Structures are given as structure tokens and as C-alpha cells.
Structure 1
Amino acid sequence: MMRRLALLLAACASLWTAPVLAWGAYGHRTVAAIALENVKPATRARIAVLLRQERQLGTPKCRVRSLEDAAVWPDCIKGEGWRWGYASPWHYQDEPVCGTFDIKRDCANGNCVTAQIERNRRILTDRTLPQAQRLEALAFLAHFVGDIHQPLHGADNHDQGGNAVKSSYGIVPGKNLHSIWDTVMTERAISSARPPLVRRYDAAERTRLGGGTPEDWLRESWQIARDFLYPLAFGGKLPCAQDGKGEEPRQVTWPEPAIEASLPIVEQRIEQAGLRLARMLDAALA
């Protein structure tokens, strides 16, 4: 009897935790799906050609069978840190919310998300390079365009982009500020969006949401974190110490009103990322 109860509890635990693991990829897959719905037919065809080089990546545990797979591949390969550890700083760029925005200061030796978007865009565009190398660049590009639109991938308060700020999500404890915006907030925003985020956008929407440069996109994320996210989490004000270095990380609560206020921002950032990625892929491939 006890054995059967233990197996039942284990099964329930797996049902509870599995979606949490998947939600981190949900936003990236949605960005890629939006992009694929909005690229030109020639771009879609050339993406399909590159995807045929999947085996050449040498990552059988991290498949790249679609653009959606490609968009989560850079997170999947983190499991092989001995091989891919050098790419870890490429996912973010720490602009201080209690300081000034300076894209050059905060990108040492090109190890930041803005520089790697540009680097991988150039590799993808260059048709003289091996197809497998261009597929790798496609995956990094699809992922990093998603990352740069997450406010806590472009802002920091001496707290690892919110990772060191313990937080509850409504009544659910045991999270941190970064994971809330990476996972559960994104899942709820995408699932509740009306109309659905994955669709063909009209020309006016693509013009309104799809412009700018990586520096513009990073600045937008930094401003959202500085003007909205951190003040909302810390009682209406930026948690800046007198020395300008930020307060020590502490426990915060992300209650239902804060969640509701955040959802439109998350929706827009996912839309912007998808349409901007579509524009970059058209420029590189079509």
C-alpha cells in the first residue's frame, strides 16, 4: 500500500513540475511561431533547407527540426556546459536600473546579447559559409531576439537580473523575480491573449511593432524594468541604495493586481520579438 502511494505521489509530482520546465521554452517557441507566420515564402523555404543540416550540429539531445526547436536550442545546450559554456553571457546584457544605459560599457568583448544578435545575423546572411554554421546562427538569432525582449535580460540591480530576488507568484511561493517573467507570466500572457499572438499580422501591425535595432530593443527592456517592473515589485519605487548600486536582494510578492498589470506588456514584448525576428530573417534569407 505504501509503495503504491509513493508511486502515486511521484506521478503527481511529475505532472506538477513538467509544465514548469516547459514554460521556459513556451515564450521562445511562440516568438518563433509568430516569425514563421510572418516571413516571406522564400524565407520559409530557405529555413527548411537549413534545418536539413540538423545532424551536423552534433547535438542529438537538443533537436532542431523546426524554427521553434531552433529558438529553444541555445537553452537546451546549456546542459553541455563543457562544450557550450562560452555562450552563456550571450543571453543577456546587464544595464543597471539604478544607473545609466551604456551599451558599449556593458558588453565586454562582444559577450552580450546585442553583439551576438548582430554576429549571428551576419553569419546567417553569408551564403559562402557552411550550411551547418548558418543553422547554428539561425538558432542563436531566433533565441537571442526572444531574450532581448524579456525586460530582465536587459536590466540588473546587482541581483543577477532578478534571479536573486525571491518572490511569490500570487499565492505560489518559491520563485524568483526573473523566473516569474521567464515562465509563468509568459505562459499566462500567451494563453490568454485575444486575438492569439501566433497569427499573420497586417502591414500596419508589422510597422508598429516590428521596427528598431537591437540597441533599441535592449533600451526598451531596460526602461520597462526601470520604470515598471522593479518599482511594482518593490512597493512603488526603484530599490536604489544611496551609493547607486541597488539594495540587497530580498523577498518580494507579485500579487494578482501586479500580474494583471504586467500581462499586456508581456504580450507586446512577445509580439515585437516575433515580428522583429521575421524582419531579420527576411533580410538575411529572402
Structure 2
Amino acid sequence: MESNVQFLTFIALLVCVPVANGWGIDGHLIICRIAQPRLSEAAADAVSQLLPDFAGGDLGSVCSWADRVKFRYHWSSALHYIDTPDDLCTYQYNRDCKDEDGIQDRCVAGAIKNYTNQLLSYRDHDAASQYNLTEALLFLSHFMGDIHQPLHVGFTSDRGGNTIDVHWYTRKAVLHHIWDDNIIETAEERFYDSSVDELVDTLQKNITSVWSNQAKAWAACTTTACPDAYASEGIKAACDWAYKGVSEGSVLEDEYFLSRKRVVNLRLAQGGVRLAATLNRIFG
């Protein structure tokens, strides 16, 4: 893993850098904490080998790394989201997976496919040597989270809700940030004693109880990774829940929060289950 030496030095400098992109820090942490206990023995071993030492074996602790490196890896910014045509509420890979310059495959679905393919070389030493598989693991884990945030598959004109100014109760915010952070943070404060661990525990219990039958279907995929299906779900959730009833200057309070909290919890749970299933398929 010689190619990882420079990366480990670089990433160590970023651990304490604050970030508020994608899902917020808690959202990505939750997805990776849901995923890690669901890994097969082979996948858990591979993840352990690829994680940087300072992560202490905890994938969740580095699941926001991909947001922190945008200032250095400028090329990666377009890989966190998908812009879809306004108001169509549909996603098509060939139409939508491109960056602002029209370069194909540069979107979060394309990134998931790319880093999945890189990680498939893990057991082929000669092939793996051309990639930094630690970075590939962290990018894949992060992007599997991003694609489950509904406004990361949002409308082109408002940049996934980033240009829609609203109020979250009494505070000014943009709609995208509400889905990244505010719904999760408000839920933690109101229902989980301000503890992200309690929220993770609740979601894990729901996955094995009220969502147990659904969770089996969430994990299913006929290939190694199925980001196009997740993106199609995302734009539907964006239209049905994130954008619905919201306009410039809207004040979003309990009616919006309590109904949308269920959607956020579901997408976090799906993201965690699917990240684990994808890593299990990659590492056999």
C-alpha cells in the first residue's frame, strides 16, 4: 500500500477541519455506523486493512473526508450530486450524469461506479497498485451517503435547493442545508438527547424490526453497485417531500419537520444498508 503513505499524511491534517457539505457530519457518520456492523467477515477485514490507522477501525470517523478534500481535489466537487431537469422529477444516467461542462459520468452515480470498480481490484495486487484504494473506500462510502440525500439529486436551476432561501423555525437557511443538517440536528435535540449514537441505535433497531422485510430489498442489486436506482428514488423524494410546499422565503417549522423526519430516517437507513451490501459484494 505504498501509494497510501502520502494520503495518510494528507488526511491526518484534515481530521479537525470543519465541514458542512453533503449530508452533514452526523448524516455521513450515521450511514457508515449503520453499515460497518453489517459487513461480512471478508469485507470487514478489507475495510480494516484500508482504513488509515488513526481511524481506529471506525469507518464512520472518516466518512466526511470527501467533503474536506474538495479544496484540494477540486475535480471531486461535481461528484457529490446530480442535477436533473427542473420539475420533471425523473433521473436518467445518460441525460443527467455530467458536470457543468457537460463531461459525462461526472456525477455521484458515476463516481460510485468508478470507485466500486477500483475497489474490485483489491485482491489483484498488480491492478490495485494503480489506485489509492484507501481513497477509493472513503470516496465510495461518502458518495453512497450523498446519493441518498434527496436534494443531491435535485433540480438544476436551484442547484439542489442551494439557492432557495427559507427559515428553519427562526433561523435563516437554504433548503439544501435543512436536508443536510437541520432535520437531523433537530431530531437529535428533540428525540435523542442530542446524541447521534442514540439515533444510530434507533435506526439499527428499526432496520431489524419494522423495516426488516424492506431492508432485504434495499440491499438487493443485480450488479456490484446500483446507484441509478438510488438516484431515481432520490429525485422522487426531492419532489414529494423536499421541494413540496416550499418557496422562496418559506418558514419551515413542525409541520415540515415532523413529516420530513421520517423520510430522512428512511434514507439514512437505506444508505447504511446499501453501503454494507455494496462493500460485501466488492470484497466477497
Pick closer, same or farther for the CA change 1:51–1:200 going to 2, 3 Å.
farther
Segments ≥4 residues shifted beyond 6 Å: 18-21
Q: Distance in 2 between matches of 1:119 and 1:251?
A: 39
The match for 1:68 is 60
The residue type equivalent to 2:229 in the other structure is: D
CA contact (8 A) 2:34 2:200 kept: no
Deviates more, 1:216-225 or 1:156-165: 156-165
Aligned with 2:233 (options 208, 220, 230): 220
Pick closer, same or farther for the CA change 1:284–1:120 going to 2, 3 Å.
same
TM-score (norm 1): 0.76
SS of match in other structure, 2:49 = helix
Shift of residue 107 of structure 1?
1.6
The structure with the larger Rg is 1
SS of match in other structure, 1:196 = helix
Pick closer, same or farther for the CA change 1:70–1:210 going to 2, 3 Å.
same
Q: Distance in 1 between matches of 2:173 and 2:218?
A: 31
Q: Distance in 1 between matches of 2:43 and 2:241?
A: 36
**Residue 98 in 1 paired to residue 87 in 2?**
yes
The match for 2:220 is 211
What is the RMSD computed on CA atoms of the aligned residues?
A: 2.6
Shift of residue 24 of structure 1?
1.5
Q: Deviations over 1:193-222 (max 9, x none)?
A: 596124594463530433352111001110
Gaps of 5+ in 2: 1-17, 99-103, 193-198
Deviates more, 1:91-100 or 1:112-121: 91-100
CA contact (8 A) 1:90 1:111 kept: yes
Q: Distance in 1 between matches of 2:276 and 2:230?
A: 15
Q: In the comparison of the two structures, how many residue pairs are matched?
A: 240
* Equivalences for residues 33-112 of structure 1 within 5 A: 33-52=33-52, 64-65=55-56, 66-78=58-70, 81=71, 83-99=72-88, 100-108=90-98, 109-112=104-107
SS of match in other structure, 1:174 = strand
Q: Distance in 2 between matches of 1:144 and 1:165?
A: 23
CA contact (8 A) 2:164 2:174 kept: yes
The residue type equivalent to 1:196 in the other structure is: T
Gaps of 5+ in 1: 1-17, 55-62, 235-249
Shift of residue 132 of structure 1?
6.8
Q: Distance in 1 between matches of 2:45 and 2:164?
A: 44
Shift of residue 150 of structure 1?
0.4
**Residue 115 in 1 paired to residue 110 in 2?**
yes
Q: Deviations over 1:226-284 (max 9, x none)?
A: 122212324xxxxxxxxxxxxxxx32221211100001100000000000000001011
The residue type equivalent to 1:255 in the other structure is: E
Q: Distance in 2 between matches of 1:126 and 1:225?
A: 35
CA contact (8 A) 2:19 2:25 kept: no
The residue type equivalent to 1:47 in the other structure is: V
Q: Distance in 2 between matches of 1:154 and 1:39?
A: 27
CA contact (8 A) 1:91 1:112 kept: yes
Deviates more, 1:179-188 or 1:128-137: 128-137
The match for 1:244 is none
Shift of residue 157 of structure 1?
5.0
Percent identity for Structure 1 against Structure 2? 28
Pick closer, same or farther for the CA change 1:151–1:74 going to 2, 3 Å.
same
CA contact (8 A) 1:167 1:251 kept: yes
Q: Distance in 1 between matches of 2:278 and 2:244?
A: 33
The match for 1:126 is 121
Q: Deviations over 1:122-142 (max 9, x none)?
A: 101112313971111100000
Q: Distance in 2 between matches of 1:110 and 1:220?
A: 19
The residue type equivalent to 1:280 in the other structure is: T
Hey, which of these two has a bigger chunk of helix by percent? 1
CA contact (8 A) 1:168 1:174 kept: yes
